[in-house]
Structure 1
Amino acid sequence: MHPLMVQYRAVVVKEVRQTARDKRVMALLTLAPLMQLFLLGFAVNFDVRHVPTVVVDRDRTAESRDYTRSLLAGDTLDLKAEFPDERTAEAALERGEASVALIIPRDFQKDVLKGQGAQVQALVDGSDPTRSSVAGNAVAQFAVLRATQLASAQARRQGDLLPHALVELVPRVLYNPELATSVYVVPGIAAMLLLIVTTVIMAMGLSRERETGTLEQLQVTPLRPGILMAGKVTPFLLIGLVDVGLALCVGVWVFGVPLRGSLTLVTVATLFYLLSTLGVGLLIATVSRTQQQAFVGGFLFVLPAVLLSGVMSPVRAMPDWLAWVTYLNPVRYYVEVLRGVLLREAELPDLWLQLVLLALFGVVMMAVAARRFQKTSA
């Protein structure tokens, strides 16, 4: 065996044994990501159901009651109370007891039967934009559907022909038919946890060795700095691959994330991604003198990387000037690869640009970190 390979194997074996003996580090590398994936997978939920709703029915007729009953038939809105006037309903919204208030005016049934326009007012609490948007859309869509049904029924009663054929929209949701939040969020959470584990633990591990003097002892041996660095990075690279495998298993079996694409493509993307995250961790370690500095440096990198990755909110929803910054974020490309492969069965022709950019980021970041590591070892 080549002498360099002997040195490399010795460093890898040493790092593996040292990491395995430290139960706290092993827990941070394996158990902590799984626990966080479980918690975040269940906690992060953008599905809006059972929105508390109050009703003010000033008409109190069969038509107004049927309208209210039909609107509340689904699981989006839940009837909490009925009030006699608008002021009481608004007070319920102010106290947070309800998020939507429906106001049905007087003469509602009379106007409907005459074919005249009847307005139903919906007061929506805008302090929660997601809930208010979904609730408002649900009320608006029902109003359009109900108006079409009433117009058709009236035309049939009068024996009139409709002036034009009604167009029925039949939506078909692809890739996530149930619109489950976990299917969309879990791949992003996996990328986020992998970033935190590999970057922060790598930075703190090397900083701890510098504090205890272990790194200096290795640097005065005949080991080349490149071999020493590669040997220290390899165990974290393997642990990162194991963490991704565990995250995929949890995502598929617990949260129902589909596994439609190629695992080989996911593995290649993960290797490129780990080069970036470990390179950043190594770079942070070379400029940090203590574990506390390494932790702060890792946090200052991880937080903006997650926020600008599209894990929680789409990149296209960001301002244009901020969206351009996301092109410098490897987390964004890894999330796009995971969601593309797992959810849409995307293949290499669909994701080649993301893979090329991930590889470019990984090589550049690892080269910069290696150069800095060699300087500190000299």
Structure 2
Amino acid sequence: MNRLAHILRLGFKELTSLRHDSVLLLFLFYAFTVAIYLPAAGSVIGVHHASVALVDEDHSPLSRQLAESLQPPEFQVPAALPYDQLDNVMDSGQYTFVINIPANFQSDLLAGRQPAVQVNVDATAMSQAFMGAGYISRIFQRELLNYANQADTASKAPALLTTRALFNTNLQGGWFLAVIQIVNNITILAIILTGTALLREREHGTLDHLLVLPLTALEIMLAKVWSNMLVVVLCTWISLEVIVKGVLGVPLAGSMGLFLMVTALYLFASTALGIFLATLARSTPQFGLLAIPVIIPMLLLSGGSTPLDSMPQWLQWVMQGSPSTHFVSLSAAILFRDAGVSVVWPDLLALATIGLLFFTIALARFRKSLAS
């Protein structure tokens, strides 16, 4: 009972220190509000609201039909453009796509002469240029087949491909990006909060005061883990309810309680990693330099930014030892696919095992640093 009381009181001490640290409080507020909303609402992956201009030299019903087929939210309403302005608007970057429909296009098509439509692409808008050109090609092919009464050719194909987008019907990239931003911020805060808290005590001399008390390294470490875990889990829950569901309107179908439990388990592993890095550093700036090469691979190679399947096989195996890899998988499965424990238990078991391993190593290193 004495140990539990020590851990509880030391944890309250950590919360009191955090309450008086205005910089960390401001960073917490930013990380779970602005840093979630801006990337999810502003950084859209794919084609969205792309600017289009149309040079219509044919002025036929077919050319008007092609222009009307480019609709929001993927494209803006095509702007009419004179032919002599085509090069100027492309040079100025005013439009991402400039489409030129030649004269006699409709009559040539009906005569079977296979006329060409020119699509000029500003490839400096990399993501929209690459995917948008494919979108326009498929949309125009569909419209031309329908117009030429050739839609029945699809029935002669050996197989029909039916595509269904599950859990995100409109393929809105902001939904997944909002959750990934929370995962990334949890990783950063878990490592930074615990590491800086330990180094702050060492630099201010309060760690020496703790050592003269009847406290063990395990009690000190558990106090830091549970206090920072409580803060981050609470901020995560508020951010999901207010920013992700309320402001961004992302429908989270899964169990919030299960996700917060998984978050706490992930924090157990990542806070232990933060303490381990703090025992290697002699000062807060040195801790920051040590944390950068650890945090960045955890964020970029966890499967949130790039799918694991697209990485080299050896790197996929290496990243299985990172808790962030399993946390990203668990977050998507629980929040979007409403997966239960019976489905995600392999990742849960892997995350718990990694957490215990990290905690054991960090505790051994922490005890060694206290003795030295």
The equivalent residue for 1:243 is 235
The equivalent residue for 1:228 is 220
Out of 94, 98, 118, the position equivalent to 1:97 is 94
Report the Cα offset of residue 334 of structure 1. 1.0
Q: Distance in 1 between matches of 2:5 and 2:316?
A: 46
The equivalent residue for 2:8 is 9
Q: Distance in 2 between matches of 1:267 and 1:348?
A: 13
- Taking a change above 3 Å as real, the CA distance of residues 37 and 76 of structure 1, as seen in their structure-2 partners, is closer
- Taking a change above 3 Å as real, the CA distance of residues 6 and 63 of structure 1, as seen in their structure-2 partners, is closer
Answer yes or no: is the 8 Å Cα contact 2:63–2:101 preserved in 1: no
The equivalent residue for 1:309 is 302
The equivalent residue for 1:132 is 129
Answer yes or no: is the 8 Å Cα contact 2:269–2:323 preserved in 1: yes
Q: Distance in 2 between matches of 1:223 and 1:165?
A: 77
- Taking a change above 3 Å as real, the CA distance of residues 289 and 258 of structure 1, as seen in their structure-2 partners, is same
Alignment of 1:69 with 2:61, yes or no, is no
Superposition pairs for residues 1-378 of structure 1, below 5 Å? 2-30=1-29, 32-58=31-57, 60-63=58-61, 65-78=63-76, 79-84=78-83, 89-152=86-149, 165=155, 171-249=163-241, 250-320=243-313, 322-378=315-371
Report the Cα offset of residue 136 of structure 1. 1.1
Structure 1 range deviating more: 89-98 or 250-259: 89-98
Structure 1 range deviating more: 190-199 or 137-146: 137-146
> Which residue identity lines up with residue 9 of structure 2 in the other structure?
A
SS at match of 1:51: coil
Q: Distance in 2 between matches of 1:3 and 1:170?
A: 64
> Which residue identity lines up with residue 355 of structure 2 in the other structure?
G
Q: Distance in 2 between matches of 1:166 and 1:256?
A: 43
Report the Cα offset of residue 24 of structure 1. 3.2
> Which residue identity lines up with residue 121 of structure 1 in the other structure?
Q
Answer yes or no: is the 8 Å Cα contact 1:33–1:197 preserved in 2: no
- Taking a change above 3 Å as real, the CA distance of residues 96 and 325 of structure 1, as seen in their structure-2 partners, is farther
Report the Cα offset of residue 363 of structure 1. 1.0
The equivalent residue for 1:159 is none
SS at match of 2:51: strand
SS at match of 1:77: coil
Answer yes or no: is the 8 Å Cα contact 2:199–2:278 preserved in 1: yes
- Taking a change above 3 Å as real, the CA distance of residues 174 and 284 of structure 1, as seen in their structure-2 partners, is same
Structure 1 range deviating more: 222-231 or 64-73: 64-73
Q: Distance in 1 between matches of 2:363 and 2:8?
A: 19
- Taking a change above 3 Å as real, the CA distance of residues 98 and 13 of structure 1, as seen in their structure-2 partners, is closer
Q: Distance in 1 between matches of 2:288 and 2:267?
A: 18
Structure 1 range deviating more: 334-343 or 165-174: 165-174
Q: 5+ unaligned residues in a row in structure 1: which ranges?
A: 156-161
Q: Distance in 2 between matches of 1:217 and 1:36?
A: 37
Q: Distance in 2 between matches of 1:277 and 1:213?
A: 25
Answer yes or no: is the 8 Å Cα contact 1:8–1:231 preserved in 2: yes
Q: TM-score scaled to structure 2, two decimals?
A: 0.89
Report the Cα offset of residue 306 of structure 1. 1.0
Q: Distance in 2 between matches of 1:166 and 1:209?
A: 75
Report the Cα offset of residue 319 of structure 1. 4.8
Answer yes or no: is the 8 Å Cα contact 1:29–1:239 preserved in 2: no
Q: Distance in 2 between matches of 1:132 and 1:325?
A: 34
Report the Cα offset of residue 274 of structure 1. 0.4
> Which residue identity lines up with residue 185 of structure 1 in the other structure?
L
Q: Distance in 2 between matches of 1:347 and 1:279?
A: 27
> Which residue identity lines up with residue 293 of structure 2 in the other structure?
L
Q: Distance in 1 between matches of 2:130 and 2:309?
A: 18
Structure 1 range deviating more: 94-103 or 288-297: 94-103
Answer yes or no: is the 8 Å Cα contact 1:198–1:278 preserved in 2: yes
Structure 1 range deviating more: 194-203 or 91-100: 91-100
| Number of equivalent positions | 367
Report the Cα offset of residue 279 of structure 1. 1.0
Q: Distance in 2 between matches of 1:252 and 1:260?
A: 11
- Taking a change above 3 Å as real, the CA distance of residues 73 and 14 of structure 1, as seen in their structure-2 partners, is closer
| Runs of 4+ deviating beyond 6 Å | 166-170
Report the Cα offset of residue 287 of structure 1. 0.8
SS at match of 1:328: coil
Q: Distance in 2 between matches of 1:27 and 1:62?
A: 60
**What percentage of aligned pairs have identical amino acids?**
25
Deviations 1:334-365 (A, max 9, x none): 12211111111112232122111211221111
Q: Distance in 2 between matches of 1:80 and 1:114?
A: 29
RMSD: 2.6
Report the Cα offset of residue 40 of structure 1. 2.8
Q: TM-score scaled to structure 1, two decimals?
A: 0.87
SS at match of 1:346: coil
Report the Cα offset of residue 75 of structure 1. 4.2
> Which residue identity lines up with residue 142 of structure 2 in the other structure?
L
Q: Distance in 2 between matches of 1:334 and 1:271?
A: 11
